[in-house]
Structure 1
Amino acid sequence: MILIDEQGTVIQGFIPPSRIDTYLPHMIAGSLYRLIKFYGSKSKTMYRVSEQDVTISFSWNSVLSVLENCPVQFLEDRFRFYGYEEFESACDLKGDLYDYIGHIKLVNEQALGDGLVLDEVEIVSSRRILVHVQTHDGPVMKLYLWDTAATDFCLKFKAQENTPSVILVTTVNPKRFGGTLTISSLSSSRVFLDLDVQPTKDYLAWLGSNSEAANRINADIVTKAETVTIGELFTYIKQEGAKANESVGDDAVVPVPQALIDTIGQTRKFVVKVSKHNLEGKTQALTVTKVLPLEVPVLEDVLDENVAEEPADGRDDAAGVTVKRSSDGIESGETKRAKCG
């Protein structure tokens, strides 16, 4: 929670879980209050939402009253925006939380358009939405919306008359996945679209007059780049392995890989990871995390040990005894048949 005093100072506020039902139901967005009897403490350095290093906490005897006819004008919303460079510097540091604003490029790998439909079943199952976003003509970033933020985005997206273009998310956490910078929502994050707040209105106006600049994409940010020289690229092109199905028709048959052929007839055990999404999602699948080695039959181990322990002159007799016992066991359980030869 963010508190703003009459000087405009933004301070982090905190209501203990045991007192949330006492105060929060009476607090209305856009209203002004006077808080009496509270205590202050040093803020943690991790995930701060204001520049001040103190936190105002509600105590057991705090009094919250509505402030009417206040001469001081407060801004309804306060934002602290970061861009790509700032998020890059703060990545994985667990420091202050900043807000992000930009225009939407993709939603769950789908391009924006009048035909874009969000798969609500998939979103509820995965509790996540992936949005590719870009600020002005800067790099494209991956924005992950989780849990409540994903639900809010879905509801607001569907409520818009036209497909929304601008998104603002508060208190996002910059992290690096697979070498690529991403930003993720937290439980405190709020989502705004197009005309929800003044910053999104201003950005939407800029987007309307700068569509050419906004459509530029730096593909190195969207994909994981690997640096190669012209010589290395030319060497790769010359390799036979780089030519797939050269000079063959559409009816050409590609042989099955030998590694797959070798598994025919084998029985293996797999370690699989199963989640709710695997069984209830649009595509039902299991994720194999490990393939256990083939089990060696116990009988062979016993035979090898017996042979190794017997002296050289008694190997034939020992083997004969073992085989005969096995034969006797088979004959006692089945009908005897005439022996050939």
Structure 2
Amino acid sequence: YGPSDVRHRPRPSGPRSGLYKDVDPTKEYLNWLTANPAAASSINPVEVVNVETLTIREISAFIKRQPAKVAYFDCISTIDNVKLGTEWYYIACKDCQTKLNHGPTTLMCPKCCNENATAVTNYRVEMFVYDNEEQCTLIIFGDSGKELTGRKATELIDIYAEENGGEWVEVEVPLPQCFIDTIVQTNKFRIKVAHFNFTSNKVSLTVTKIVSPAVLPPKNHPLNMPVMPISSSQNNPATSEVDGSVVPESSSGGSPYANNHPSSAIDDQKKPKRIMRNG
């Protein structure tokens, strides 16, 4: 786990807390999933054999113009930040991975209709990512969290429990440092577009798999862009090297999460560390 300023960072309070709770894509998604258990069907292998790689903007366009249907895409993007202040795991049914409900004495699965379901701990982490054009929220579920960090959610909770008394206690488990260490990583993510995405006004995409590490492709320039003359700085090798290391900004002026999101893992004071880590 990370330094104390990350582990014990307080949650936003007052009006801010209510505001972020209202727009929390994870809570919205899980509430919808609980109300529509039939929609949580298993992945059809035929659907994911030939997966097209799209940008964030192209996936958003697909959601806007297509009728509601389940689809899978790959998307190459860079992790800009990780959301703090929300639980990074949930208790799921061992058989169908649906979030369990608390009964009088047991945990109940709304999908399996099992009033004494066997529980497992699953990842549910919100990450802010960007590519050359846009930015969005990715929700890391289940095995994709293990693929990203190399550990199961249960292992990380056990480690925290051992460090704090040796037992699972009814306290909030802070976000593990291994998730914060993924910031600035670029990966190819397998994205599931579900019926939920067609009714939400916020682009938050579910990740079902970390396909592989990746590199952002070159930014596509408009075909009618005029040819610019070579400036003096382009003839200067030192200046060219600095210019080439700058991450392309998104169409909305760059990712705002590190600077403006009060519950993210990076703030203005820590931003230089990202630049150093990125080389």
For normalisation by structure 1, the TM-score amounts to 0.30
- Greater RCO, 1 or 2 (C-alpha within 8 Å, sep 6+): 2
Larger CA Rg, structure 1 vs 2: 1
